[in-house]
């Protein structure tokens, strides 16, 4: 006797066959979109984007360090521009990789890119502050004034005071003149030697202490010059007038030096570079390294039964 399926059984068999056929079609379509060659190309594109991000980050960091250590405003500005351009390149690569990860890659890779994006935003914030400080270069400007115009003004004053003493070595008040001239010279030299440490100092409190010493030395210089001006034999003498002019010039330059020194942009930018910037760069590099390893470890689907085929196996099969 022939057994025929009931109508209900036949319907279930038909539905089952349709579902199985649909499953096969989905699997086939998926395998067509995930063939080994396209997977390798996708992985290579993502890895290349990460490499460019790593290189851009390294280039930006190197240019930033050069901007901080630059000897002139022009050099600092040029290096700062290079740093910003390299950072902009990293930003472009973030967008490129984000687009690639929307169609390929893994959730882990997308999570790592998100973490890098956050860390890189902090990098840019720190870098913006640092480069703005480096370009101002106020400590370099202060050093330039201290060892240039300020030193020249001191030499002008010293030379004039030496001439005052030499011209009056036989005067009735020779001892007084010599003593006052020596006092003024010594005090102004102390003032001059306090300028470089002030420029290099990071602490405002220590700067305050140095400036208090400077004020004491300034009082000594002024008292000595006033004493010389009160000597009858020196009234209207050109050498004394030149000494006073030299000291007045030095005082104006010193005031500008202290303003630049207080801004402390080179000292601050170096501190930021060695501390905050170094830490955020390390974080960015670590995330990029992890992202690269994740991409390179991603298996390639293939093989006769849908197993995973590594790149070296693909190369061997292609021979």
Q: What is the pLDDT along the chain (319 residues), one digit of tens a residue?
A: 444 555 555 454 544 544 444 443 334 344 434 577 888 888 899 999 999 999 999 999 999 999 998 988 899 999 999 999 999 999 999 999 999 999 888 999 999 999 999 999 999 999 999 999 999 999 999 999 999 999 999 999 999 999 999 988 877 888 999 999 999 999 999 999 999 999 999 899 999 999 999 999 999 999 999 999 999 988 889 999 999 999 999 999 999 999 999 999 998 998 899 899 999 999 999 999 999 999 988 876 653 333 333 333 333 444 3
DSSP label at 174? H
Number of domains in the chain: 2
Residue of 105, 27, 101 whose CA lies nearest to 297: 105
Let me know whether 195 and 279 are in one domain. no
Residue reference for tokens 């501190």: 271
- Asked if residue 234 belongs to a domain, the reply is yes
Domain boundary at 234, 263, 292, which? 263
CB 63 within 8 A of CB 82: yes
- Asked if residue 305 belongs to a domain, the reply is yes
Q: How far apart are CA 296 and CA 285, in angstroms?
A: 16
Q: What is the pLDDT of residue 4?
A: 52
Q: Which residues pair with 301 in a beta bridge?
A: 308
Q: The domain containing residue 148 runs over which residues? A: 138-263
- Asked if residue 9 belongs to a domain, the reply is no
For residue 57, what is the domain's CATH number?
1.20.120
Domain boundary at 217, 236, 263, which? 263
Q: What is the pLDDT of residue 16?
A: 52
- Asked if residue 24 belongs to a domain, the reply is no
Let me know whether 81 and 98 are in one domain. yes
Let me know whether 247 and 144 are in one domain. yes
Q: How far apart are CA 106 and CA 120, in angstroms?
A: 21
Q: CB burial class (10 A; 0-12, 13-18, 19+) of residue 162?
A: middle
- Asked if residue 16 belongs to a domain, the reply is no
- Asked if residue 113 belongs to a domain, the reply is yes
Let me know whether 209 and 293 are in one domain. no
Domain boundary at 263, 280, 300, which? 263
- Asked if residue 258 belongs to a domain, the reply is yes
Terminus-to-terminus CA distance in the chain, angstroms?
58
Let me know whether 281 and 211 are in one domain. no
């Amino acid at each position: 006797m022939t057994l025929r399926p009931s109508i209900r059984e036949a319907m279930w068999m038909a539905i089952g066959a349709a579902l199985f056929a649909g499953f096969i079609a989905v699997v086939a379509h998926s395998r067509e979109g995930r063939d080994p060659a396209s997977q390798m190309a996708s992985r290579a594109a993502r890895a290349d984007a990460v490499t460019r991000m790593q290189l851009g980050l390294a280039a930006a960091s190197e240019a930033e360090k050069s901007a901080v250590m630059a000897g002139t405003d022009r050099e600092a500005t040029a290096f700062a521009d290079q740093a910003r351009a390299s950072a902009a390149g990293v930003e472009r690569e973030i967008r490129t990789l984000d687009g690639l990860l929307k169609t390929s890659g893994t959730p882990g890779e997308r999570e790592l890119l998100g973490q890098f994006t956050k860390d890189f935003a902090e990098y840019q914030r720190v870098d913006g502050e640092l480069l703005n400080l480096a370009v101002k270069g106020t400590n370099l400007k202060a050093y330039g004034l201290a060892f240039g115009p300020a030193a020249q003004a001191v030499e002008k004053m010293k030379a004039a005071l030496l001439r005052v003493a030499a011209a009056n070595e036989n005067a009735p008040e020779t001892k007084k003149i010599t003593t006052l001239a020596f006092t003024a010279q010594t005090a102004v030299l102390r003032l001059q030697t306090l300028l470089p440490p002030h420029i290099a100092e990071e602490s405002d409190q220590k700067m305050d202490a140095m400036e208090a010493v400077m004020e004491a030395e300034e009082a000594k210089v002024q008292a000595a010059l006033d004493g010389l001006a009160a000597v009858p034999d020196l009234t209207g003498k050109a050498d004394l007038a030149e000494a006073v002019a030299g000291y007045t010039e030095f005082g104006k330059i010193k005031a500008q030096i202290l303003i630049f020194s207080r801004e402390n942009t080179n000292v601050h930018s170096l501190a930021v570079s060695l501390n905050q910037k170094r830490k955020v760069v390390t974080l960015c590099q670590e995330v990029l390294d992890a992202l690269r390893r994740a991409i390179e470890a991603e298996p390639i689907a293939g093989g006769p039964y849908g197993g995973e085929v590594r790149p070296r196996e693909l190369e061997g099969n292609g021979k």
